[in-house]
A and B are shown apart, each in its own frame.
Chain A
Amino acid sequence: DAKTTQPTSMDCAEGRAANLPCNHSTISGNEYVYWYRQIHSQGPQYIIHGLKNNETNEMASLIITEDRKSSTLILPHATLRDTAVYYCIVRAYNTGGFKTIFGAGTRLFVKA
């Protein structure tokens, strides 16, 4: 699976959009980009995933560059409850096994 690179931490003002970048320059054609978040001491929570096209759901938007080497997770109106660690993961199913690498993620602080 491709490796991902994320900033260690970011700040965002409450009510503003939070834009979390992820670099995955070694991504291959059949690998999806997934985002999860983990609020303190809880289990990770799925946010969104995509392959090529931009995706949007009730939680967030995912923008994937045309060359698929990077992506951005957008929380359109961040709230204090969005303070969490956000993980960008690149995955493809293969019969060789699941070696999901969550990495250290980006710690997002939403400030009032």
Chain B
Amino acid sequence: NAGVTQTPKFRVLKTGQSMTLLCAQDMNHEYMYWYRQDPGMGLRLIHYSVGEGTTAKGEVPDGYNVSRLKKQNFLLGLESAAPSQTSVYFCASSYSFEEREWGEQYFGPGTRLTVT
């Protein structure tokens, strides 16, 4: 199993450009999440999904959109990138609460995004 993979690993954008980050998991997990991590800070939840076709806002959703068209994929979009979105983005997935006690999230290796 590859676990959670993220594409791309690195990206540099100019202000106003758009891009999509792809997260894929092969563990048949129901729940998927997108976090951002800024220097010296913990992770902050951007958006999450509790199943195929569903998405919901986390702590810091502004400026981002997400889609979960397939159970194994969770896409994070930046429509008009801003320097404040320079960060490391982590995707994670987990079992649903009904399947197992929530908690054990599996994280991807991260995408380092710089917006100039």
Contact = CB atoms under 8 A, between A and B. Distances in A.
A associates with B: yes
Contact of A32 (B45, B92, B101): B101
Contact of A43 (B40, B101, B102, B107): B107
Interface string B20-50: 0000000000000101000011111100100
A54 interface: no
Interface residues of B, number: 27
Contacts of A87: 42
Contacts of B56: 97-98
Interface string B93-110: 000010001111111111
Interface of B: 4, 33, 35, 40-45, 48, 56-59, 90, 92, 97, 101-110
Interface of A: 32, 34, 36, 41-46, 49, 87, 91, 93, 97-105
